[in-house]
Amino acid sequence: MVAQCVKCGNYEWNKIVEDNRITCPNCGYSWKFNKLPLFILTGCSGVGKTTTAHEFMLSTGDIVVLEADFFFNIMPHETQEDYLQQIEMLEDLSKNIMHAGKPVLWAMAGNLDKLNKVYNRQFYSDIFCLALVCEEETLRRRMMQGRGISDEEWIQSSIQYNNYFKTHTVIYDMPFDVCDTEGKKTGEIVEEVKKWVKEKMAGSK
């Protein structure tokens, strides 16, 4: 909606975005929109993204919190191109929500490499990622006892992904910050997420 041209009816994904102004290349009509950052709460499977995001959602009305599995559930998810399309739709949907004045935070484990590769990226001032991490034993316990996962391959891949976030600052071309959740209560983690969002909002334009 926000990027559709009401003057000539052009709904193609060919708009020109400069600052907070969208221009239709077909007829030259232009209009303002709310340009905000997009937030991603990431981390490996079992680290506590959903728990944190849910508690965060309940404790604030300043940001719209959504779960990226939504796209997995309704769209094809076999190939990298499928996942690229999911991210395209994620950013398309989010830009319409943020036009109402609130940024969007997605709980999302993977596909961080695709966030900068889609057409809809240009509608955001920034994309900020925060990775939740914890100790390997905590992760193993959460996955096995907390969620009843016994698939050792799944557990190992999650441990590796968790380790990646603990030992890097960039994944593909996407920089991320880290929130170490080890030994912390959900409320404490949520406070850290809030502080992180506030800092990023203040530094983005």
| Positions that interact with Zn ion (CB under 5 A) | 5, 7-8, 10, 24, 26-27, 29
Report which of 116, 121, 107 is spatially closest to residue 69, judged by C-alpha positions. Answer: 107
Compare residues 29 and 33 and give the one whose CB is closer to Zn ion: 29
What CA–CA distance (Å, rounded) separates 29 from 25?
Answer: 8
Report which of 33, 10, 182, 161 is spatially closest to residue 94, judged by C-alpha positions. Answer: 33
Compare residues 25 and 76 and give the one whose CB is closer to Zn ion: 25
CB 118 within 8 A of CB 88: yes
Compare residues 15 and 142 and give the one whose CB is closer to Zn ion: 15
Minimal distance in Å, beta carbon 99 to Zn ion? 18
Minimal distance in Å, beta carbon 9 to Zn ion? 7
Minimal distance in Å, beta carbon 28 to Zn ion? 7
Compare residues 3 and 127 and give the one whose CB is closer to Zn ion: 3
Compare residues 2 and 144 and give the one whose CB is closer to Zn ion: 2
Compare residues 3 and 179 and give the one whose CB is closer to Zn ion: 3
Minimal distance in Å, beta carbon 85 to Zn ion? 25
104 CB burial (10 A radius; 0-12, 13-18, 19+):
buried
**Residues 99, 65, 148, CA angle at the centre, nearest 5°?**
155
Minimal distance in Å, beta carbon 29 to Zn ion? 5
101 half-sphere exposure, CB direction, 13 A CA radius: 2
Minimal distance in Å, beta carbon 190 to Zn ion? 43
What CA–CA distance (Å, rounded) separates 158 from 87?
Answer: 21
**Residues 111, 33, 124, CA angle at the centre, nearest 5°?**
25
